[in-house]
Chains A and B, each alone.
Chain A
Amino acid sequence: MTRASSGVEKTIWDRLFTALVAAIYIFLMFPIVLVVVLSFNSGEFLAFPLEGFSLRWFEALFSNKRFLDATLYSLQIAATSTIVNGVIGTLAAIYVARHATVARDYIRLLMTSPLLVPEILTAIALLFYFYEIRIGTDYSIGIQIGHIVVTFPYVFLNVSSALFNFDRSQEEAARSLGAGGWMTFRRVTLPAIKPGIITGCLFAFVISFDIFNISLLLKSLGKNTLPLELFDYLRFNFDPTAAAIASLSIFMTFAAILIIDRTVGLRSLRF
């Protein structure tokens, strides 16, 4: 008997455990795979048996002006949130990591708090607040600010984590060699924390594209984001066109995941 491999011996319990874990992975992925499969099914219904491969539901989707408008609107809001947070989130993270002293913990708490409270409460708070300060929901500014607030922590946290792992002596070396503050930042700090910024921005983009509650309460009349449009559509329809939209959104998410995985590695994600 090989006692040396005692930790690796496979007992019946090991096999049962592996089977259990496999079942849970299937539970996690099954609904997502199902949506994608049904979006390519030529049948009229969102059910089995499959009737054959077809792109008809994607055609139906691309000829639907409401969905196209909603997609563009969502992309616009997500891109704006990403750019704004990419700048102010990165700056704030550098400040907290490098310069803050007295109120550091409080600032950090404030910067992450949109993640710590339920999104629906933030949405309600902003709905009332925009009414009180006369911004209202007639324009896109309200929904845009809401998206920026909710996605801010993703950039802040990922850049903070990159800064934490970055060896400061490199900055000091650059400065002692005569580089100015801006030069040091641009040539040393920025390249080092770039992966954190990219991850944070991608994350902010995907989350902004997906979030619902903020958009539901802060949207202006007749302007829907894609999740809102899908939600409204599903109230009166239940057909594979909805699966096609869902599929597109899933593909986008997986593209983002692959980019993160290939560039910086998924395990560096912070949230």
Chain B
Amino acid sequence: MSAVGAAPRLEGRGNRGSASWMVVPALVLLIGFFALPYLTIITMSLREASTRAVYGDGFTLAHYTTALGDLYIWGILGRTLLIGATVTVISLLLGYPVAYHLAKSRSRWTSLLYIFVLSPLLVGLVVRTFAWMIILSNNGVANQALQAVGLINFPLQLMNNPLGVTIALTHVFLPFIILPLLGNLQAISPDLAMASRSLGASRMRTFWKVTLPLSMPGIQAGTILVFVLSISAYVTPAMLGGTGGRTMSVLVVQYLVDNFRWPAGAALAIIMAAVAVLFVGLYLRLTARAMRRLP
């Protein structure tokens, strides 16, 4: 027997056919229970409503025309987008300093600070929103503190309105902007800022002209993530939004679970998704233009 014949095949080339079983279970899961189900949202939204079953026999566009002709739904859609945009801007303003600090940090506490950023992400949404209910309710911690200091005499309305939802969502999704930014900022070579400084630029100018432009990809990724997450959030607006802070997700779930209007609810879900895609697309075009102008 020749030594060459006994040599095992090292590369996957010959094994490719025999290895494909490895991916089959995952493909079955994600095609069968993820990709296909998404198609049923579309078909469901085109079904006729029925009072006797989940949906009727025929197909119709009525759910879209009804929804788009309804000022109440436009109002909720507008509020949802406004909350999403506000949360995104505040998250960026609060998240950037933290990411910048963490990227530069050489202290032995860095890993603890990293836990501070990461842990809210891993604590359940219901738990975090519940914590904000304790803080924001009429006799909650925030109002207690403000009254104790003497800033106000009567409790402020801090929840059951868009304000409460915005505050809580900012907390809930802040880590989602810090982490992409952190990855981005850590990847920027410190030599660039050093070069800028040694050429006489102030630290402020170095930040505006070097670091900030180079961190645009992280800003872009993080802001899109936070925007999409906050306009589709359900738990937080459902728990502390009340009727004044009701968003599209809350309305959709109400259609599906409470009113049992599946086809109309599906149409609302698709409208919400379409608006999200539209806004993200628009935003990508705008930021892409801004990023192209960079040196």
Which residues does A use to contact B, with CB under 8 Å?
7, 17-18, 20-21, 24-25, 27-29, 31-32, 34-35, 38, 46-48, 87-89, 91-92, 94-96, 98-101, 107, 110-111, 113-114, 117-122, 124-129, 131-132, 145-146, 148-149, 152, 156, 172, 175-176, 178, 180-181, 206-207, 209-213, 216-217, 227, 230-231, 234, 238, 242-243, 246, 249-250, 253-254, 256-257, 261, 266-267, 269
Contact = CB atoms under 8 A, between A and B. Distances in A.
Interface stretch (B66-74, B107-115, B211-219, B281-289): B107-115
Contact of A35 (B31, B114, B127): B127
Interface in B1-23: 7-8, 10, 12, 15-16, 19-20, 22-23
B232 interface: yes
A125 B130 CA distance: 27
Contacts of B85: none
Given A21-B101, A34-B135, A47-B141, A256 B35 contact: no
A32 B131 contact: yes
Question: Counting chain A CB atoms within 10 Å of each CB, which of B98, B140, B266 scores highest?
Answer: B98
Given A176-B7, A210-B122, A230-B126, A114 B30 contact: yes
20 contacts: A17-B97, A28-B174, A31-B132, A34-B134, A47-B139, A92-B25, A99-B16, A125-B40, A125-B41, A126-B37, A149-B34, A152-B29, A211-B125, A216-B234, A217-B253, A234-B239, A249-B123, A253-B123, A257-B115, A257-B122
Given A28-B171, A91-B23, A124 B269 contact: yes
A227 B125 contact: yes
A266 B118 contact: yes
B30 A111 contact: yes
A231 B126 contact: yes
Nearest to B229: A118
B119 interface: yes
A193 to B, nearest CB: 14
A149 B30 contact: yes
B290 to A, nearest CB: 23
A24 B94 contact: yes
A148 B123 contact: no
Given A29-B116, A32-B119, A256-B122, A266 B30 contact: no
B102 to A, nearest CB: 9
A53 B65 CA distance: 58
A117 B127 CA distance: 22
A166 to B, nearest CB: 15
Contacts of B37: 122, 125-126, 128-129
B139 A249 contact: no
A131 B101 contact: no
B256 interface: yes
Interface residues on B, range: 35 or more
B146 interface: no
B75 interface: no
A113 B34 contact: yes
Contact of A121 (B115, B128, B269): B269
Nearest 7 Cβ contacts at the A-B interface? A118-B232, A31-B131, A129-B37, A92-B26, A210-B124, A125-B37, A95-B23
A266 B41 CA distance: 37
B292 to A, nearest CB: 24
A128 B23 contact: no
Nearest to B240: A234
A209 B141 contact: no
Contacts of B12: 98-99
B151 interface: no
Question: Counting chain B CB atoms within 10 Å of each CB, which of A89, A99, A261 scores highest?
Answer: A99
B35 A20 contact: no
A200 to B, nearest CB: 13
